Amino acid sequence: MRRALPAIGLFFLAPAVGELLLGATSLDAIALLPVMALLYGGGALLIRESVRRTGRGWWSILLLGAAYALVEEGLLDQMLFNTHYSDHYDMVSVTYVPFLGTGAYGLLSTLAVHAVWSITVPIALVEALVPSRAREPWLGGLGLPVVVALFLLGTVVVGWGTYEEQHFMASASRLIGTSLAIVGLIVAAFRIRRPGPGRAGRTAPRPLVAGVASLALTAAFMAVLQPNWWGVVCALSIAATAVALGVHWSRAHGWDRRHVLALAAGATLTYAGVGFTQPPDSGSSGPVNLVGHIVFAAGAVALLWVAARLSSRCYAPR
């Protein structure tokens, strides 16, 4: 059981960050967490396992997280193509792009939310909690097929359940196009260059600097991403800046897992703040929702504190 704890933690932390901390699911609907974990947690575990077993890095995790986003929101619940998916927002009509069959706003939001917060951030947080096992696989001969089965069960539950509720099915051309995009992202994730040692001529910034930059950029991204073309262009500019800065820093000498945790911490704090403004899709709003946000935000801060302590001990000079 001790060896399985990191996998179990990621299985439940992925939906906790992706749904509860964001505010998409209220406190009184927390019973849905095990169901959401089938897809969120199963996907995060399979992505992490495939990347760690092949010696790939965080950029591969981000690309596979983007592929996961298209699986969930494009093929299963089809939010990217259904204008009546939610009473709170319409991801399709605003900033509509005929070639894509969906809105640029909805697509950008979906890719960022899932690739960064649903997949990459939970993986980084759990790995920071077990630094001695951060680079090794967590699933053995029994665990891997079990997680595959749970993830497939999650796809059936979400896909069939959403269809029964919405009675919507996207056109074949949109589903085929989404499937091809998913395959392309997966291929790119495993063709990207493996991470190497940092360049001696450039020194990585302090982890605190990386964390503050992450908080500032992710908060700015969420603030400017609005359902109009101006918001999409501004958010894309911030995302491009974040990627360029991440590439520059991650190739510098001295970049280590403390910096990765700092980036994840900044993104986590942004989500904790956004959660106080997000109307829930599942559960009720009002006082119970506010209490839930306070509890989830406090839990996130506590988790970050523990992870930071463990990382500082792991990299403390001897």
Give the tokens for residue 304.
Answer: 């970050």
Predicted structure pTM score: 0.94
**Predicted local confidence at residue 286, as pLDDT:** 83
Give the tokens for residue 71.
Answer: 């699986």
The C-alpha angle 259, 263, 265, rounded to 5 degrees, equals: 110
**Predicted local confidence at residue 300, as pLDDT:** 96
**Predicted local confidence at residue 49, as pLDDT:** 96
* pLDDT tens by residue, the chain, 318 residues: 667 899 999 999 999 999 999 988 999 889 999 999 999 999 999 999 999 999 999 999 999 999 999 999 999 999 999 998 877 678 899 999 999 999 999 999 999 999 999 999 999 999 999 988 888 999 988 899 999 999 999 999 999 998 998 889 999 999 999 999 999 999 999 998 777 665 656 788 999 999 999 999 999 999 999 999 999 999 999 999 999 999 999 988 889 899 999 999 999 999 999 999 888 888 888 888 899 899 999 999 999 999 999 887 776 543
Q: Which of 300, 315, 43, 78 is nearest to 186 (CA)?
A: 43
DSSP string, 117-146: IIIIHHHHHHHHHSGGGTTS----TTHHHH
Q: For the chain, what are the domain ranges?
A: 5-314
Query: Which residues, other chains included, contact 204 with Cβ-Cβ below 8 Å and sequence gap of 6+?
Result: 198, 210, 249, 250, 252, 253, 254, 255, 256, 259
181 C-beta neighbours (distance < 10 Å), count: 15
**Predicted local confidence at residue 318, as pLDDT:** 37
Q: Distance between CA 122 and CA 110 in Å, rounded? A: 17
Please state the φ and ψ torsions of residue 103, each to the nearest 5 degrees: -90, 145
Give the tokens for residue 287.
Answer: 């006082």
